[in-house]
Amino acid sequence: MAILEVRNLSKSFDKLEVLKDISFDVEKGEVVAIIGPSGSGKSTLLRCINQLEKASGGSVKVCGLDMIEGYKNGKPVYSPADVLREIRLKIGLVFQNFNLFPHMSVLKNITEAPMCVLKKSKQEAEETAKVLLEKMGLASKAGSYPCELSGGQQQRVSIARALALNPEVLFFDEPTSALDPELTGEILKVIKELAKEKMTMVIVTHEMAFARDVADHVIFMDGGVIVEEGTPEQVFGDTKNERTKQFLQRYNNDFKD
């Protein structure tokens, strides 16, 4: 059974239709890369799945739990609060701009949610945080504050914070877009390691070579619709759609050894 099932998802802001009839599945242990030009609806899609935006239509199911239980007067009716909370606990989102709490230490940033949301003890939360910081190569930074870290270090802390809640699916919204090119590599390395560990991930990215190398399934979006999808070999090496070809033309240098 798919961990994530999205069916006919739509989202409009007033008369602007941003998502149109989006459907896809994500299996356990699968890495799905979502690519496409700016303004194609990629980030809005993640925000709808993570309940940061309300969908205008369609359905989302996470680990068998329905985010939308039905319709009334043509509008979606969301499931009760306890179901939505359970869904939120099963998914994590890493933002492009880190979103760390500036007044909290690195350790506190990671332990806050497990203590408040999962009701873990301080000792248990800190033990988990230290393991994750070690994994991120940041064991020495537990007492530092975000302003004392590089952008790449801050993003690694935000990944550790998301992992501390032990999500079933981890979403990344352009995790390297706010970083200098030389810092991008360290974040992509972390995500590649998570992929090797079979972490289920959905990644919105502009890093085409990375998407080709790490993803099991690639979705190309444009104009709020899924234009083409398939394996990396199909989308990057044997694309059938002219719009996809035009988009990937700009990234030809990414694929040269």
Instruction: Give tens-digit pLDDT for 72-108.
Output: 998 999 999 999 999 999 999 999 888 899 999 999 9
pLDDT score for 255: 57
Q: Confidence band (pLDDT; 50, 70, 90) for 162?
A: very high
pLDDT score for 153: 95
pLDDT at 254 over 80: no
Q: Is 235 helix (H, G, I), strand (E, B) or coil?
A: helix
pLDDT score for 240: 85
pLDDT score for 160: 97
224: left (phi over 0), alpha (psi -120 to 50) or beta: left
Among the ranges given (19-23, 167-171, 206-210), the one the predictor scored with the smallest mean pLDDT: 206-210
Tokens found for residue 241:
């759609």
How far apart (Å, rounded) are the C-alpha atoms in residues 142 and 129? Answer: 9
How far apart (Å, rounded) are the C-alpha atoms in residues 72 and 195? Answer: 40
Cβ pair 175, 186 in contact under 8 A: no
**Percent of the chain scored above 70 by pLDDT?**
98
Beta strands 31-35 and 217-222 are parallel
Cβ pair 115, 165 in contact under 8 A: no
Q: Which residue has the tokens 């502009």?
A: 206
For residue 165, give the DSSP letter: T
Write down the pTM of the prediction.
0.93
pLDDT score for 253: 59
Average pLDDT for residues 190-202, to the nearest whole number? 96
pLDDT at 257 over 60: no
Residues in CB range of 210: below 8 A, 6 or more apart: 33, 188, 191
pLDDT score for 183: 86
C-alpha distances (whole Å) from 13 to each of 18, 44, 56 are: 7, 11, 9
pLDDT score for 181: 83
Residues 19-48 have pLDDT tens digits of 999 999 999 999 999 999 999 999 999 999
Alpha helix (H) residue ranges in the chain: 42-49, 81-90, 106-116, 122-135, 151-163, 181-196, 208-214, 232, 242-249
